[in-house]
Structure 1
Amino acid sequence: MSFLDRWLPAWILLAMGVGLLLGRLVPGLNTALEAMTIGQVSLPIAVGLLVMMYPVLAKVRYDETRRVTGDKRLLGLSLVLNWVVGPALMFVLAWVFLPDLPEYRTGLIIVGLARCIAMVLIWNDLACGDRESAAVLVAINSVFQVVAFGALGWFYLQVLPSWLGLPTTTAEFSVGAIVGSVLVFLGIPLLAGFLTRVLGERAKGRDWYEEKFLPAIGPWALYGLLFTIVMLFALQGDAITSQPLDVVRIALPLLVYFALMFVIGLFASKAVGLDYGKSATVAFTASGNNFELAIAVAISTFGVTSGQALAGVVGPLIEVPVLIGLVYVALWAGQRVFPNDPSVPTDRTRETAS
């Protein structure tokens, strides 16, 4: 592994600490960063995510995505985990852990509805999951996000609680925020990655592209990740440190959610006959969430100082360290859960992937 990869957990902890310090010690930084938005999209975070995602999407062999779209087990399982199991599990956990805090509970339910279309790509890449499968599943999630987010929000915040005799929440979700999130955080880097692959191979050939160009841009994915973490913690450092007990209560169901979704995704994939590469991809796409969309929806619907917005903010702050930990769990479990599977990464394949 490269020096950057080997010490990635340390860099992430350092980035979190730097972000918290900046948010607490630099006067007016939060206000300045919050002012740099277009619509509900934070420009600093958008830049970090785009820099992070571009190298990953440039690695995808787009001419091989047909084999993914023909795999009904992969597509069917991913859809069920993302749009049935994930939202239902977050609904249950939100009510179990936060029965007395309706604002935080609603915020968590919104996080559960926002399926991941961005950062999951880097977790999958670090775990040596199937890149082509990840690109296809993320694209499918983006389509379902536009179509299903509002309907599921209505169901889980109003219909299902009413059936169960629980308090309901009225919320109107902005279709524009959903579409904007998909276009910015998936559309731009996906188009850039696709064009880079096509034009690079056409000009220099696949060998040059994969052996020379990709290793040169690869580290930028992690630079973008670290920059995004610093920006997230700088934006929300004051809220996190001023309400630590609330953050802990929100964090507990999130920890359970990420761990359960990953384990369910990994073992359900193995049960239906998928190899390690595809199983890791299914597990990470099921575990991650589109935090930018969740935060944007919570702010536009309930306000920037609302409990729903705080719950949305805590989501990625817990997701980042937990999912980087799950990358190492996936790499450790590969040989044990998928013995004799050629897609299980070795030290050499991990070095090549980096």
Structure 2
Amino acid sequence: MSQKGPVSPPYWYGEGRPPLPMQGLSWLYAAAIGARRWLYRRGWRKRLQVSVPVIVVGNITAGGAGKTPLVIELVQRLREEGWKPGVASRGYGRQDAGTARWVQADTAPALGGDEPVLIAYKTGVPVRVDRDRVAAARALVQQGCDIVVCDDGLQHYRLARDIEIEVIDARRRYGNGRMLPAGPLREPPSRSAECDFRVVNLGQGGEDGAAQSSGFGEWQMRLRIDTAVPMVGGRTRALSAFAGQRVHAVAGIAHPQRFFAMLRACGIAVVPHAFPDHHRYQPQDLDLGSQLPVLMTEKDAVKCAAFANAWCYSVPLQAELPAAFWVALLDRLDKLAPRHAPDGR
């Protein structure tokens, strides 16, 4: 497999013990996180509210677990229910990260961040990137949004929230259970119990038995891929058209193996090319050595659109959750203060 850039240390997910220096730093990190959480619980650091409901979708591990597909599906469901959602994001990895800005479908990913640009493209709702999520939420309210969805931000305690949704990778879960940098945890595992909903990302079709990795009180989410969209125009193709063929698969996400496994589950012979999460692609990155079809995630496609060729395809991802999850979530929203109700409800 072609692998470029940094990857998670192998000891994060069970291969050996972390080096002693990493363990020492982990204890210091855990103490700092604990002190910060204590200050917020005591009220010595203030949580700031906005006048509309706030839903935070995040995880307590470093790296991705499937938050963005869930955010996209959540926004679409909220719109169907009559809400006017907006999305707040830090826009990790973008240039000039200290500048707040509105993100649209045609915003350069280097300025808006790859995930915010993808969310704007897929949903069409207002998307605001800002290191200060309170400021981002307030800007969305001023824009006319009556509910704010935060893409990531469980650890951004300063913004008060009404609902927290934790997303968990079914295969990797919490790894070795240690805090950064000795393990993948940004917060202790006990933080999970504080979240209103825990969604376990099983990948496509349970991702080779990962469906067994969900437990009591957890909602299962599957990711579905079934089409490939030409990046320079042309008809959308069913992924089944690539079954039995060799393709280059490109993924610059936190867990690229998940995307490769999903393609293989469709009967496609994958030549994998893994890049770091939030990788800034250059034209030479798509010089893969042979003229095979190139299938990539939508998150990668928004960054490669300017120099894609006729061999390149974007593979849309659809998050699927049980109907009971949406019933429970919408019921929770209905029980909030009447001032939070959208027009017509």
Q: Which TM-score applies when normalising by structure 2?
A: 0.27
Structure with a larger share of its residues in strand: 2
Q: Which TM-score applies when normalising by structure 1?
A: 0.26
Q: Which has the higher contact order (CA 8 A, sep 6+)?
A: 1
